[in-house]
Amino acid sequence: MTDLDPNLAIEIRGLRKTFQDPERGTVEAVKGVDLSCRRGEIYGLLGPNGAGKTTTLRMLASILAPTSGSAYLDGVDVAANPLEVRRRMGFLSTSTGLYPRLTARETLRYFGKLHGMHGDTLEARIEELLVAFEMESIADGRTESFSTGQKQKVSIARAVLHDPKVLILDEPTTGLDILAASTMVDFIDSSRARGTCVLFSTHIMSEAERLCDRIGIIYQGRLLAEGTQAELCEQTGEKFLDGVFMSLVRAADKSAGTPG
Amino acid sequence: MSRHSKTIKPWKLVFHTELLGLLRDRRAMFAGLILPALLYPFMFLGQGWLGKIAEETLNTQEVHVAMDLSAASPQVQGRLAELLALQIPIQVDSLPPGSGASIDALVQEATPDAWQRERELAISLIGTDGHLVLYAVPDPVVADRTLFRLHFDGARETSREARKRTNRALSQLSDELRSEFMSEQFGGDPAQAFVSEDLDLASEEDLSGALLGKLLPLIAVLVLLSGGSYAALAAFAGERESGTLETLLVQPVESIAIVRGKFLAVLSTSLATLVLNTMSLLLCVALGLGDLPGGGGAAATPQALRVLLGGLILIPVCLFLVSVLCLVCGKARSFREGQHYILPLSLVMLLPAAVAMQPDVQLDAFLACIPIAGPALAFREAMVGNLSFLPGFLAVFSTLLYSTLVLRRVGGLLDAEKILGSEAGDEELKQRRVQSRSALTWGWAGVLSVYLVGGLLQSVHPIGGLAATLWLLLPFLTWACVRRTAERSGESLPVALGLRLPAIHHLVGALLAAAALARFATVWIAWQQKVMPLPSSITSAGLPTQFTELSPLLMFLALALSPGICEELFFRGAVLSGLKRDLKAWKVVAWQALLFGAVHASIYRFAPTALIGGLAAIITLRSRSLFPAMLLHITYNGVLVLGQQTLPFFVKDSPDLLPSEAPPAMTLEEVLNLPWVPWLAIPALVLFAIPRRR
Amino acid sequence: MNSPPPPSTWRATLWVAKKELLTGFRDRQMTLYAVVLPICLYPVMFWIMIQGALLFQGRREHTTVLVGVNSDPGVEVPAEVFEALSYAPGASELKESGGGLEFVEILPIEQSGDPATVAREERAKGEKHIDALLTLRGAEQSGVVIAYDSTDSRSELAAKRVRKRMGIYAEDTRELAAKRGGLDPRGLTPFTSEDRNLAPDKEMGAFVLSLLLPLLLVVMCVMGAFYPAVDLTAGERERGTSETTMILPIPRLAVHQGKILAVCASALLATSLNLLALALSASHLLKQLGQGVDLKIEVPFVAFASIAPLALLFTFFVSAILTGVAALAKSFKEGQALLGPVQMIFILPAMTSILPGLELTTKIAFVPVVNVVMAFRSMLRGEALPLEYTLTAVSLLLYAGLAILFAVRVLSRESLGVSNKTIPLTRLFSFLRSDNLSR
């Protein structure tokens, strides 16, 4: 097998994804991304819309199959054993919805059972999460009557229900109001303490600055740079993250524009 | 800890949750369960009620008949008046004698002008309140016989009713006079021994079974589709809409388990609707609230065994219908889009189910394999206890087979790659297979316009219409279709159409293939005649006389050369050039066969024409030129058109011939029937195996 | 600086309607449903029906039925009966079609007894059993009995053929008897009768149309208004695009009226396309059935022209009510569920158009929906009822006006914009009374 570092929760090597397009030929959404996260680390994937963030995360979450390259999650090959990968990770994106006619508790129970949990273990875990997210009062109300923040809490609880080793969050705060977004940020922050590895994508610089142990900057399907915030600032000579981002993007545009 | 660590199977869980969601949806319950359960019985019973009212209104309506019976014998006059008086309510007004004769003169004249005057006169005789005029005149054909003629207005309901009543009285009179004549002359009916009387062997049970057998398949389709559509849309399209699909796909279960659970939820909802619906219908009948259409009060319940057997046949049908429903709803990306598909789907599914309503359609192995129609007929036969094993087995087996095929596609519905991959780049989905999509759209547009516009033109003028279809409509479609393809690939129009010089050996191959194909077609048609014989209305119609009167050369031009060129230009030229860019070769050939079979718009011609279409597509793909396919088509049509022409090189070898006589030449048709003709396929195959030189 | 004068309500109404139509028909789904589907569906349905009819006709004609023949004890079956039974009408067509047209095979049966018992026994016999049994009765009950099973299609077919042939045979026997007795066989046919239809082909066509078209028109109109009505109200709410229209600097009334107008225009378009497709496919496709279809339907353009104004008013009426009701829903899905029962309100009364005997009277002219179908029917038949037509038009105008008023009232409720719930139909009136208007 491959020489996997046991300390790494996520390891992505040369991941590529191409879509066929008869008009424009082959479109490369992701053009070879290498990335790795240690256990308990919070890693932020920073990039504008259409940079390939979502596609990368979806390939890692075994939703899409990569065209080439490999991805390992908690030491499991995503392509070879997608079901095992899904058991070990939690996935959440902004577009995630809830079943309107199920209650919060039923929603959690449903997904818990799909993860193979059952009986008292499951019920205890649900209760624990309901308390942790302060949802006891709304636990038996249908999700269609919830506010955005309440829905977001249910979604988060759903993602961490099976106590995943790795959390993959695709733009988790986009479209949320301040209260809901801060619930999300607090949650990400708290997962560090639990030793969960979090990989999340965002285009909000302040979030990345506040939360991330390490940051990767992705642009036009390529990972331009990777490192802690300080490393990135040092590398580009900029003071703030948005400056880092802009200078990297400019450099990338320049090298793409002038061949050789 | 419980002993089984994974007690609940994922599909059961999905099934359970889907059902729970549906049951909590008040509207879904109403639209899916309560509404159909109330609506259909209501409609069936309402229809009967309306019919009854209509009949009563007509029966109580008084009709006015103006009469001049002066030409009939007084005895007949009296009897007819008596009989007419029995047709209550009727009002008879006498006309002056001679008015019958005056109108008869106009009828005898039989010119368009006389017809106008006849109408005017008749209308004036009927008067403003009247509905009909009846008069007696001497029969112009047989001497000494009276002719009763009546004029009525077929466009007025009351006049039609008046005609019905008058005719009833007339036929009663005829019967009376006739039996009087026979008893006077023969002392009774001389054919008394041959007057037939019907004896129906069917029991009450059989009759009610037959009634249910006819109705239930239709109801099943209606109810399953309307009752299940909400559930199917909620389970598939609704999931995409609410954004829960992505979450579901990252759960550690196979997506097939999810699909299975959803399918079962839809199936059980639709079945519940069906059971509820049938029960409410039967309850209405049992309570005497109304009759089933055509029921006539057959109330006995059919035998339990038959119902059981019928149920066994109906269940695969439900399976098939629900899987088709799931497939259609699963393809929809939103609830709204899915809703659009339901109406056409229901209509298309209702047609084959309605076959069971036709009393003179018999089930056999061939019909049994037609989806929905086969099991619907089998169900009807089972309900009357007439089902034999083979057709019954085939009906169930074929339906199960079709369901499996559909279900396999349903299983692929939640393929994340397709759904999310396309969401990731919505552009991408639009662009995918754009050329073949547009070619197919044009192909079907061609089929439809040839069918509608071409059909209309040919009904106006057979030859002119055909010429216009071939030389105007098809070239226009060809141009419209190939224009975009050529633009995209940067080719000139002729190149995109495949109008380039072919290899000589491919032309020869096409010629040989055409001969073999023509021979095969005759064998096929002889076989087809056994399974689906041509009805007399088609055989007696034949080719329009305008064609058969043409000289052989013109006939060849009209029926072989023109179709060969124009149809090939459109189908193998324009449509194929679009298809082959995105699709695998076998798919291109299959589409070509389907389109070409469909454009000939007759089930009797479907198989032979589809074969030509497929073969011509293979040849075109292989030779990368349109000309061999054109040659194949022209030769094949030519052989059919000129079948009666004699060929000088072939002579009949007949033993009765005297040595001095010259042997007669064979017709083209006879040459085709020579034993070596099928073997021409082999050299044709070899020739096409040799690639075109670069 | 002078700001430009605000547009008049009418002008603004037209703008809104135009924009709604444009966006509506740019939506592929909508175009497919309103334009492509009717044009394709009718021909395809007709094609399937015609081909099915031909297929079954061919198979029926080529079915050979087996008929058992027996007689009561002591009665001989004359050879002529066998001859008469095997005679196939249309035998000249036999050769052309490859044989087997309406063929009857005869199986003489020795056993005699009660026809029902014998027939049941014979029919229970293995693979090849008789389809019907013909029994010649003895002296007391003279005549023949045709025993068959009406629930078995083959058996019914056999009985039909035997019945027909025995009828012909009996008539031949009578004529022969008359000739033998030196009598005039004309006595058997005491008189002839002839019916002549005074209505020209055109009127007959109009009559047939008048039976079908009024109901069809109402159904097409309701179906045509259905999707646009839901899409422009509930659909808009779901997509969250309603605010953009609401902040336009034009009177709200114009926005609401524009929507109703757009729904009405789409309904009219869908109805006319449906009619066109129906006309195209029905007229010449029926000819494929060959002989037997003698009906000549000409499109009565004059009648159509007279229908048009009433149809327009009716479309306004339907569109306004559907739009008003659909506006209560919060999403497309719920809107559809809400409109389901409402469309029945139009279609059920329209069923009266298939009732013969009912006529347009001054009273009926005031019953909504029924008045329209009755007026359509009378107009197609060319009946001149100026008073009734005028009354129908006036009452329709009134109803359409009321419907528009209703729709505008519903659309202008403030709570529609805020609430994220569907208002159930049962609460419609209290909702209309209590709520604030948004201006």
Residue pLDDT, tens place only, A207-227: 888 888 899 988 888 888 888
d(CA C295, CA C286): 10
Long-range contacts, C347-350 (Cβ 8 Å, 24+): C347/C215, C347/C218, C347/C219, C347/C222, C348/B46, C349/C373, C350/C214, C350/C215, C350/C218, C350/C219
Interval A14-38 mean pLDDT: 77
Beta pairing class for A68-73 and A8-21: antiparallel
Q: Do B242 and A110 touch (CB under 8 A)?
A: no
Q: Which residue, chain included where needed, has tokens 């992701």?
A: A30
* Nearest-5° Cα angle at B404, B399 to B409: 130
The list of chain C residues with pLDDT below 50 reads 1, 97-98, 290-293, 439
Q: What is the pLDDT of residue C416?
A: 66
Identity of the residue numbered C220: M
Q: Which residue has the tokens 């929906």?
A: C369
Cis peptide bond upstream of B494, omega within 30: no
What CATH class has B61-182? alpha beta
Spatial CA neighbour of C259 closest among C45, C13, C1, C75: C13
Mean pLDDT is lowest, of B431-445, B550-564, C237-251, for C237-251
Residues B478 and B466: their CA atoms lie apart, in Å, by: 17
Q: Identity (one letter) of the amino acid at B76?
A: V
Strands laid side by side in the A42-46 sheet? A89-93, A166-170, A197-202, A42-46, A214-219, A222-227
Shortest alpha-carbon distance between residue B628 and chain C (Å): 32
**What confidence category does residue A25 fall into, taking pLDDT thresholds of 50, 70 and 90?**
low
Choice among B78-92, B284-298, C100-114, C218-232 with the minimum mean pLDDT:
B284-298
Distance CA B61, CA A35 (A): 90
Residue A149 class from Cβ within 10 Å (0-12 exposed, 13-18 middle, 19+ buried)? middle
Q: Which of B330-344, B409-423, C199-213, C290-304 has the lowest mean pLDDT?
A: C290-304
The pLDDT of B678-684, averaged and rounded, is 88
Residue C407 has, within 13 A of its CA and on its CB side, a CA count of 31
Please judge whether C190 and B195 are an interchain contact, meaning their C-beta atoms are less than 8 angstroms apart: no
Residue B323 has pLDDT above 90, yes or no: yes
Instruction: Kindly report the nearest CA distance between residue A86 and chain B, in angstroms.
Output: 5
Q: Is the pLDDT of residue B8 over 80?
A: no
Distance from the Cα of B652 to chain A's closest Cα (Å) equals: 59
Q: Give the predicted TM-score (pTM) of the model.
A: 0.80
C424 prior amide bond cis, ω within 30 = no
Residues A172-194, mean pLDDT to the nearest whole number? 82
Confidence of residue B4 (pLDDT cuts 50, 70, 90): very low
Q: What is the pLDDT of residue C279?
A: 76
What is the arithmetic mean of pLDDT over B667-694? 83
Across the interface, whether the CB atoms of B337 and C115 are under 8 A apart is answered no
User: What's the pLDDT at C288?
Assistant: 57
* Tokens found for residue C411: 């659309």
Query: Nearest-5° angle of CA B162, CA B166, CA B169?
Result: 145
Domain spans in chain B, listed from the N-terminal domain onward: 3-47+206-422, 61-182, 432-651+661-689
Mean per-residue pLDDT, B190-215: 84
Would you place residue B423 in the very low, low, confident or very high pLDDT band (cuts 50, 70, 90)? very low
For residue A1, count CB atoms less than 10 angstroms from its CB and return exposed for 0-12, middle for 13-18, buried for 19 or more: exposed
Q: What is the mean pLDDT of residues B165-182?
A: 90
Q: Which of C48, C116, C281 sits opposite B199 (nearest CB)?
A: C116
pLDDT band at B596, cuts 50/70/90? very high
Half-sphere exposure of C150 (CA within 13 A, CB side): 14
Please tell me the distance from the alpha carbon of residue C401 to that of residue C408, in angstroms, as a whole number: 11
| Mean pLDDT along residues B342-358 | 87
Amino acid symbol at A7: N
First to last CA, chain B: 74
Average pLDDT across chain B, whole number: 83
DSSP, collapsed to helix, strand or coil, labels residue C107 as strand
% residues pLDDT > 70 (chain B): 89
Strand order through the sheet with B196-200: B196-200, C144-148, C132-136, C65-71, C104-108
Among candidates B141, B358, B535 on the partner chain, residue whose Cβ is nearest the Cβ of C54 = B535
Q: What is the rounded CA–CA span in Å between residue B326 and residue B233?
A: 8
| Interface contact C59, partner B, CB < 8 A | yes
Cβ <8 Å between A116 and B252: yes
Average pLDDT of the segment spanning B317-341:
86
- The residue assigned the tokens 């049938």 is B278
Q: Where is average pLDDT lowest: B16-30, B74-88, B583-597?
A: B16-30
pLDDT at position B467 is 92
Give residue-wise pLDDT tens across range B611-641: 999 999 999 999 989 999 999 999 999 888 8
Q: Which chains touch A (3 or more CB pairs under 8 A)?
A: B
Cα(B589)–Cα(B586) distance, integer angstroms: 5
User: How far, in Å, CA of B587 to CA of B589, rounded?
Assistant: 5
Q: Do C54 and B154 touch (CB under 8 A)?
A: no
User: What's the pLDDT at C91?
Assistant: 52
What is chain B's length?
694
Which three-class secondary structure state does DSSP give residue B63?
Answer: strand
Predicted ipTM of the assembly: 0.81
Sign of the C-alpha dihedral computed for residues B329, B330, B334 and B340 taken in this order = negative
Contacts of A63 in chain B (CB under 8 A): 246, 249-250, 416, 420
Q: How far apart are CA B396 and CA B390, in angstroms?
A: 10
pLDDT value at position C351? 82
Contact at CB, A115 and B251, closer than 8 angstroms = yes
Q: Calculate how close chain C gets to B383, using CA atoms only, in Å.
A: 10
Distance CA B621, CA B498 (A): 10
Confidence of residue B426 (pLDDT cuts 50, 70, 90): very low
Work out the average pLDDT over B148-158.
87
Per-residue pLDDT, C292? 43
Comparison of pLDDT for C247 and A8, the residue scoring more: A8
Question: Residue C272 CA to chain centroid, in angstroms?
Answer: 17
Flag if A83 and B253 touch (Cβ within 8 Å). yes
DSSP annotation of B90: E
Using alpha carbons, select from C250, C239, C229 the residue that is nearest to residue C410. C229
Tell me, what's the pLDDT at B91?
85
CA distance A54 to B161: 75
Q: Which chain B residues are within 8 Å of C137, Cβ to Cβ?
A: 193
